[in-house]
Amino acid sequence: MRILHTMLRVGDLEKSLAFYTGVLGMKLLRRKDYPEGKFTLAFVGYDDEAHSAVIELTHNWGVEKYELGNAYGHIAIEVEDACATCEEIKLRGGKVVREAGPMKHGSTVIAFVEDPDEYRIELIQKKG
């Protein structure tokens, strides 16, 4: 068994695709409209689905905003340098909500960014 994807419901698919591909540097792996169901699925990731878990962006036509609730946490992405990645994300128009630094009660360097729907993405600096 392996994890295939995480699904996020998004209000503006084009804005979300611009964030995940343009700001975070993922690739659009596939996209398909389902007119009878009135939704579109777009899969993004750093590697193809056969080798890596990806993110499924689900856009339900006519829905512009979702309540995130308090159960969702975040998606985590490993980066070489959290400070440099935050600067790059800001230059690309992304929103950093916690600058890079050691995590509370630990030494792992982390940062957080938000996508257009306010989903949080944690950047974890690679150790060593």
- Residues catalogued as catalytic: 122
Q: Which residue in 95, 103, 102, 99 sits closest to 119, CA to CA? A: 95
d(CA 71, CA 88): 29
Say which DSSP state 103 is in: P
Pairing of strands 39-45, 27-34: antiparallel
Contacts of 90 (CB under 8 A, 6+ apart): 96
* Counts for the chain of helices (H) and strands (E), in that order: 2, 8
